Amino acid sequence: MTDLCVMLPTRKRPEMARRCIDSFRETRASDDTDLILVIDDDDTSYEDFTDVDKVTATRGNLITAVNAAASVLAEHYDALFLAADDLVFVTPGWDTLMLGTLEGMGGTGIVFPDDKRRYDVPEHPLISADWVRELGHFAEPSLAHFYCDNAWAELGKRTGLIRFCPEAVIEHRHYSVCAETPHDETYREAEEAHGAADLQAFQEWQASRMPHEAARLRRRFSKDVEWVLSRVG
């Protein structure tokens, strides 16, 4: 069985994080599926979370923290899944379902669940560790918080290495779709600080660096490209 690590970045939301952790534990099927909290060094909200492993990052932004954690975890796990504290794991065995989808596509690429919010982009992807190591990051580092899902979608479509796993339901109870979720300080802080800047950064990445990254991933992982190159020379 493939070793999977769920990265759960969270800020000042211990109740949401606890709900996510509890649902994770109730639904995971494999003992090889772990969860690690990614928290900021100035956030004391999780001091009593003694039953879960943590990675502490210098206060910066979401993408910086996730990439810092992923750079280490990709050396110890076969795949990484990015959760959010407003997620609830619903389907029993979601981990084996998603890993089975990954293995069915050769073990490399992006798999995303049915999060009951968006189907056009992988908001919360499972990404193989070899993909992360090849790019040198989990999420596009020019971004701070938003549009990383659009970047994963672009790379996945251009490489053919992305799959939707509708059997695995992991609900994204974002305030925009869940009346019970408050539009709190954490949401507002990110939207005000990073929304417009991340859109510009995404568009610049899409126009300049994205084609090169996609070509690099295709050359490294595409079976069709591998076959062609094997016939050259």
CA–CA dist 23, 31 (Å, integer): 15
**4-231 to CATH, choices 3.40.50.1820, 3.40.1500.10, 3.90.550.10, 3.20.20.150:** 3.90.550.10
3-state secondary structure of 118: coil
Asked whether residue 68 carries a pLDDT value surpassing 90, the answer given is yes
Residue ranges covered by each domain of the chain = 4-231
> What stretches of 163-222 show up as alpha helix (H) in DSSP?
185-207, 210-221
Report, as an integer, the average pLDDT of 160-176: 97
pLDDT in tens, 101-151: 999 999 999 999 999 999 999 999 999 999 999 999 999 999 999 999 999
CA–CA dist 124, 83 (Å, integer): 6
- Percent above pLDDT 90 for the chain: 92
pLDDT in tens, 15-54: 999 999 999 999 999 999 999 999 999 999 999 999 999 9
Residues 6+ apart with CB under 8 A from 14: 45, 46, 49
Q: Which residues pair with 56 in a beta bridge?
A: 39
- pLDDT at residue 224, rounded to an integer: 63
- pLDDT at residue 229, rounded to an integer: 38
User: What pTM did the predictor assign?
Assistant: 0.94
CA–CA dist 146, 149 (Å, integer): 8
